[in-house]
């Protein structure tokens, strides 16, 4: 379960929101201009997420132990640049630019 609040409301009710997050384990999504900006979660949930993320990193490292790190970095850089270019082109199209 989650609660959504504006950044202004989060400022006004910060202490109350901290209590909600800690005692009810309910996440609070702070929005700015209607878009998610930050998330408040309880410490136990944070630890679970952190542990899960590092487990994924460890599995990726194990699967790629025999790979050349420089080659992997080059590949990742290429993919990131492709995605950035696609995002830029989509932004231009949404603004009506060719």
Per-domain residue ranges of the chain:
1-44, 53-98
* The model scores a pTM over 0.85: no
Q: Which CATH number fits domain 1-44: 2.40.50.140, 3.40.1620.10, 3.40.50.300, 1.20.200.10?
A: 3.40.1620.10
Percentage of the chain beyond pLDDT 70 is 99
Contacts of 88 by beta carbon, 8 Å cutoff, 6+ apart: none
Locate tokens 């990726």: which residue? Answer: 60
Per-residue model confidence (pLDDT) at position 98: 67
Q: Determine contact, residues 26/20, Cβ cutoff 8 Å.
A: yes
pLDDT tens for 39-82 read: 999 999 999 999 999 999 999 999 989 999 999 899 999 999 99
Q: How many helices (H) and strands (E) does the chain have?
A: 4, 3
Report d(CA 82, CA 75) in Å as an integer. 11
Locate tokens 């989509």: which residue? Answer: 90
């Amino acid at each position: 379960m989650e609660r959504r609040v504006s950044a202004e409301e989060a400022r006004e009710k910060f202490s109350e929101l901290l209590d909600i997050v800690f005692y009810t384990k309910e996440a609070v999504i702070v929005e700015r201009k209607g878009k998610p900006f930050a998330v408040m979660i309880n410490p136990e949930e944070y630890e679970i997420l952190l542990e899960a993320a590092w487990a994924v990193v460890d599995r990726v490292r194990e699967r790629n132990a025999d790979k050349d790190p420089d080659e992997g970095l080059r590949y990742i850089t290429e993919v990131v640049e492709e995605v950035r270019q696609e995002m830029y082109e989509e932004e231009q199209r949404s603004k009506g630019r060719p």
